[in-house]
Structure 1
Amino acid sequence: MASKDFHHPFQPYDIQQQFMEAMYDCIERGEVGIFESPTGTGKSLSLICSSLTWLREHRRKLFDEALAAVTVDDDEPAWMAEHAVDSRRCEMRHMREEFEARLSTVREKDSKLKEGHAHGVPLRKKRKVASNDEFSPADEEQYVLDDHDDYTDGKKPPSGQPSSYSTETAKLMEDLGMLQQKRDDNSLHLLKDLKIYFCSRTHSQLSQFVGELQRVSLPPGMPPEPAMSAEVSEPLKHLTLGSRKNLCINPKVSKLGSLTAINERCMELQQTSAAVEHKCPFLPKKDNEDAVLDFRDHTLAKIRDIEDMVEVGRRLSICPYYASRTVTESAEMVTLPYPLLLQKTAREALGISLRGHIIIIDEAHNLMNAIEGIYSTHISEVQLNRARDSLLVYLQKFRNRLKGSNRVFVTQVVRVIDSLLLFVTRLLLTNTTGGTIDADELLCGKGVDQIDLAKLIRYISESKLARKVEGYASHVAQLQKTPIRNTKETQSEHDVPTLAHIQTFLMTLMNPSKEGRFFWSRESDTCILRYMLLDPAVHFQDIVHDARAVILAGGTMSPMDDYRHQLFPYLPRLVTFSCGHLIPPSNLLIRTVATDQAGPLDFSYKSRSSAMILRIGQALLDLAPLVHGGLVVFLPSYGSLEQVASCWRKEALLTKLEDIKQVFWDGRTEPAEATFKAYSHAVSTNRKGAILLSVIGGKLSEGINFSDDLGRCVVVVGLPFPNLETPEWKAKMQYLEDKARARGETTGAASREHAENVCMRAVNQAVGRVIRHKDDWAGIVLMDQRYAQKRIREKLPGWIRESFPTESPSHLRGVTKDAKRFFDGKTRS
Structure 2
Amino acid sequence: MTQEAEPERRDFHHPYTPYDIQETFMSTVYQVLEEGKVGILESPTGTGKSLSLICGSLTWLRDQKRRTFEGGLDWGPNVSDEPEWIITQAKARKRREMLRHREEMEERLSKIRAQEKALKVKYIEGDQSFKKRKTGVDDAKEGEDEEQFVLEDYDSGDEYGGGKKGDGMYSAATLELMEKLGMGPNMLKQEDEEVEDEVKIFYCSRTHSQLTQFINELRRIKLPAAIASNEADQGVQIEDLKHLTLGSRKNLCINPKVNKLNSVTAINDRCAELQKSGTSQEQKCQFLPNKENRPLVNDFRDHALASLRDIEDMASLGKTINICPYYASRAAIRPAEILTLPYPLLLQKSAREALGISLKGHVIIIDEAHNLMDAIASIHGIEVSLRQLKTARAQLGIYLQKFRNRLKGKNRIYVTQVVRVIGSLVGYLESRIPLQQADGVVSDKELLAGKNVDQINLFKLLRYLQESKIARKVEGYLIHKETSEFLALASKSKNQKPSQPKPASSTPVLHHIASLLSALTNPSAEGRLFFAKPQPPSEPDLITLKYMLLDPSAHFQEIVSQAKAVVLAGGTMSPFSDYTSHLFPYLPSPSITTLSCGHVIPPSNLIAWNLSRGPTGKEFEFTFRHRGNTGMVDELGLALLNICSIVADGVVVFFPSYNHISSIVAQWSSPPVSNNSNPNPNAATATNTIYHRLAAKKPIFTEKKDLSSDAVLAEYAHAIDTHKGGLLLSVVGGKMSEGINFSDALGRCVLIVGLPFPNINTAEWKAKLEYIENSTITRLSASSQCQSSPPSPSSSLPKQPMTPEEIKHKAKAEARAYYENACMRAVNQSIGRAIRHKGDYAAIVMVDLRYQKENIRNKLPGWIQGGLVEGSGERKFGALMGGLGAFFRGRV
TM-score range, shorter chain: over 0.9
- Report if aligned partners of 1:164, 1:348 keep a CA contact under 8 Å in 2: no
* Secondary structure at 1:151 match in 2: coil
Q: Distance in 2 between matches of 1:183 and 1:346?
A: 19
> Which residue type is aligned with residue 310 of structure 1?
A
1:536 corresponds to: 552
Residue 669 of structure 1: CA displacement?
A: 3.5
* Secondary structure at 1:551 match in 2: strand
2:821 corresponds to: 757
1:66 corresponds to: 72
What is the correspondence of 1:378-457 to structure 2 with a 5 Å cutoff? 378-427=383-432, 430=435, 432-457=437-462
C-alpha RMSD of the superposition: 2.7
2:620 corresponds to: 601
In structure 1, which of residues 559, 572, 587 is the aligned counterpart of residue 588 of structure 2?
A: 572
What do the CA deviations read for 1:682-728 (whole angstroms, capped 9, x no partner)?
11212x52211111111111111111111111111111111122222
In structure 2, which of residues 569, 579, 596 is the aligned counterpart of residue 553 of structure 1?
A: 569
1:148 corresponds to: 154
Tell which deviates more after alignment, 274-283 or 77-86: 274-283
What is the correspondence of 1:209-228 to structure 2 with a 5 Å cutoff? 209-228=214-233
- Report if aligned partners of 1:224, 1:230 keep a CA contact under 8 Å in 2: no
* Secondary structure at 1:276 match in 2: coil
Seen in structure 2, the aligned counterparts of structure 1 residues 173 and 109 have a Cα distance that, compared at 3 Å, is farther
What do the CA deviations read for 1:285-327 (whole angstroms, capped 9, x no partner)?
3432221221111000111111211111111122212221222
What is the correspondence of 1:674-753 to structure 2 with a 5 Å cutoff? 674-686=711-723, 689-742=725-778, 743=780, 744-746=807-809, 747-753=811-817
2:676 corresponds to: none
What do the CA deviations read for 1:197-249 (whole angstroms, capped 9, x no partner)?
10101111110000001111112222541243641011111111112222222
Identity level (%) = 48
Residue 591 of structure 1: CA displacement?
A: 0.8
Tell which deviates more after alignment, 239-248 or 253-262: 253-262
Q: Distance in 2 between matches of 1:422 and 1:761?
A: 40
2:839 corresponds to: 775
What is the correspondence of 1:297-696 to structure 2 with a 5 Å cutoff? 297-427=302-432, 430=435, 432-481=437-486, 494-523=505-534, 524-526=539-541, 527-573=543-589, 574-596=592-614, 597-608=616-627, 609-651=629-671, 652-686=689-723, 689-696=725-732
**How many residues get paired?**
816
Tell which deviates more after alignment, 532-541 or 654-663: 654-663
Seen in structure 2, the aligned counterparts of structure 1 residues 305 and 637 have a Cα distance that, compared at 3 Å, is same
Residue 568 of structure 1: CA displacement?
A: 0.9
1:126 aligned to 2:144? no
* Secondary structure at 1:278 match in 2: coil
Seen in structure 2, the aligned counterparts of structure 1 residues 401 and 23 have a Cα distance that, compared at 3 Å, is same
- Report if aligned partners of 2:44, 2:599 keep a CA contact under 8 Å in 1: yes
1:76 corresponds to: 82
Tell which deviates more after alignment, 465-474 or 396-405: 396-405
- Report if aligned partners of 1:662, 1:690 keep a CA contact under 8 Å in 2: yes
Seen in structure 2, the aligned counterparts of structure 1 residues 745 and 133 have a Cα distance that, compared at 3 Å, is farther
- Report if aligned partners of 2:655, 2:732 keep a CA contact under 8 Å in 1: yes
Residue 363 of structure 1: CA displacement?
A: 0.5
> Which residue type is aligned with residue 657 of structure 1?
L
Residue 23 of structure 1: CA displacement?
A: 1.4
TM-score, length-normalised on structure 2? Answer: 0.87
Tell which deviates more after alignment, 673-682 or 422-431: 422-431
Seen in structure 2, the aligned counterparts of structure 1 residues 493 and 543 have a Cα distance that, compared at 3 Å, is farther
In structure 2, which of residues 879, 885, 891 is the aligned counterpart of residue 814 of structure 1?
A: 879
What do the CA deviations read for 1:84-127 (whole angstroms, capped 9, x no partner)?
01000001100111111111122122122223333424457623
- Report if aligned partners of 1:174, 1:180 keep a CA contact under 8 Å in 2: no
Seen in structure 2, the aligned counterparts of structure 1 residues 334 and 653 have a Cα distance that, compared at 3 Å, is same
Q: Distance in 1 between matches of 2:707 and 2:38?
A: 41
> Which residue type is aligned with residue 653 of structure 1?
I
- Report if aligned partners of 1:716, 1:763 keep a CA contact under 8 Å in 2: yes
TM-score, length-normalised on structure 1? Answer: 0.93
Q: Distance in 1 between matches of 2:875 and 2:503?
A: 49
* Secondary structure at 2:867 match in 1: coil
Seen in structure 2, the aligned counterparts of structure 1 residues 97 and 655 have a Cα distance that, compared at 3 Å, is same
2:684 corresponds to: none
Q: Distance in 1 between matches of 2:408 and 2:259?
A: 37
- Report if aligned partners of 2:423, 2:451 keep a CA contact under 8 Å in 1: no
- Report if aligned partners of 2:605, 2:842 keep a CA contact under 8 Å in 1: yes
What do the CA deviations read for 1:550-580 (whole angstroms, capped 9, x no partner)?
1110011111111112111111122110111
Tell which deviates more after alignment, 619-628 or 281-290: 281-290
Q: Distance in 2 between matches of 1:407 and 1:792?
A: 59
Q: Distance in 2 between matches of 1:492 and 1:508?
A: 28
- Report if aligned partners of 1:771, 1:778 keep a CA contact under 8 Å in 2: yes
* Secondary structure at 1:447 match in 2: helix
Q: Distance in 2 between matches of 1:314 and 1:104?
A: 22
Q: Distance in 1 between matches of 2:283 and 2:340?
A: 33
What do the CA deviations read for 1:254-312 (whole angstroms, capped 9, x no partner)?
34454344334434433444433333333323432221221111000111111211111
1:487 corresponds to: none
Seen in structure 2, the aligned counterparts of structure 1 residues 341 and 645 have a Cα distance that, compared at 3 Å, is same
Tell which deviates more after alignment, 250-259 or 359-368: 250-259
Residue 157 of structure 1: CA displacement?
A: 3.3
- Report if aligned partners of 1:142, 1:273 keep a CA contact under 8 Å in 2: no
Seen in structure 2, the aligned counterparts of structure 1 residues 404 and 662 have a Cα distance that, compared at 3 Å, is closer
* Secondary structure at 1:215 match in 2: coil
> Which residue type is aligned with residue 82 of structure 1?
T
- Report if aligned partners of 1:437, 1:519 keep a CA contact under 8 Å in 2: yes
In structure 1, which of residues 794, 797, 821 is the aligned counterpart of residue 861 of structure 2?
A: 797
Tell which deviates more after alignment, 556-565 or 149-158: 149-158
- Report if aligned partners of 1:164, 1:352 keep a CA contact under 8 Å in 2: no
Q: Distance in 2 between matches of 1:98 and 1:130?
A: 35
1:22 corresponds to: 28
2:678 corresponds to: none
What is the correspondence of 1:161-172 to structure 2 with a 5 Å cutoff? 171-172=177-178
Residue 537 of structure 1: CA displacement?
A: 1.0
> Which residue type is aligned with residue 773 of structure 1?
H
Q: Distance in 1 between matches of 2:101 and 2:706?
A: 59
Seen in structure 2, the aligned counterparts of structure 1 residues 124 and 77 have a Cα distance that, compared at 3 Å, is farther
Q: Distance in 1 between matches of 2:862 and 2:433?
A: 51
* Secondary structure at 1:529 match in 2: strand
> Which residue type is aligned with residue 875 of structure 2?
S
In structure 2, which of residues 231, 250, 255 is the aligned counterpart of residue 250 of structure 1?
A: 255
Seen in structure 2, the aligned counterparts of structure 1 residues 21 and 618 have a Cα distance that, compared at 3 Å, is same
Residue 48 of structure 1: CA displacement?
A: 0.6
Seen in structure 2, the aligned counterparts of structure 1 residues 318 and 172 have a Cα distance that, compared at 3 Å, is farther
> Which residue type is aligned with residue 48 of structure 1?
I
